[in-house]
Amino acid sequence: TAEVMSHVTAHFGKALEECRQESGLTEEIMEEFKHFWSDDFEIVHRELGCAIICMSNKFSLMQEDSRMHHQNMNEYVKSFPNGEVLSAKMVELIHNCEKIYDDIEEDCSRVVKVAACFKRDATKEGIAPEVAMIEAVIEKY
């Protein structure tokens, strides 16, 4: 659900500042990670892909090949309140997007395409949070 996704995003987003330097993601491109879900934020910069790789590695959510670690992602999402209602869906949506962009060899460029696809599909499924929902839980993390 969107409520659970707001918790996952609030927690995951905490790793952004640690990853700014190595990813090259400037505040001009993305000020705070919650804007990932904003209707007028376009997921297009390869630096955001680099940042997502760096952030995912802080929580062991990716494998060596910069693809999702299915079991760890499932457990990570389940660790949030009501997480079990979202975890399988989230892994399914991300993996489906990974398959679509599997031919892009450069990791940051591929991951940003996967992330944009995930946002699109999560929105279609009605599980994309509003930025205000993330703001409401961000203080918990």
Which residues contribute to the site for ligand BOM (CB under 6 A)?
8-9, 12, 36, 52, 61, 67-68, 94, 98, 111, 114-115, 118
Rounded least distance, CB 104 to ligand BOM, Å? 10
| Token reading at 111 | 């991951």
Residues 6+ apart with CB under 8 A from 44: 112, 116
Rounded least distance, CB 12 to ligand BOM, Å? 4
Whose Cβ is closer to ligand BOM: residue 24's or residue 59's? Answer: 59
Instruction: Tell me the residue nearest to ligand BOM as measured from the CB.
Output: 12
Whose Cβ is closer to ligand BOM: residue 26's or residue 63's? Answer: 63
Residues 6+ apart with CB under 8 A from 32: 13, 16
Whose Cβ is closer to ligand BOM: residue 12's or residue 138's? Answer: 12
Rounded least distance, CB 85 to ligand BOM, Å? 15
Whose Cβ is closer to ligand BOM: residue 30's or residue 118's? Answer: 118
d(CA 47, CA 23): 6
* DSSP type of residue 62: B
Rounded least distance, CB 105 to ligand BOM, Å? 13
SS (H, E, C) 41-88: CCCCCHHHHHHHHHHHHHCCCECCCCCECHHHHHHHHHCCCCHHHCHH
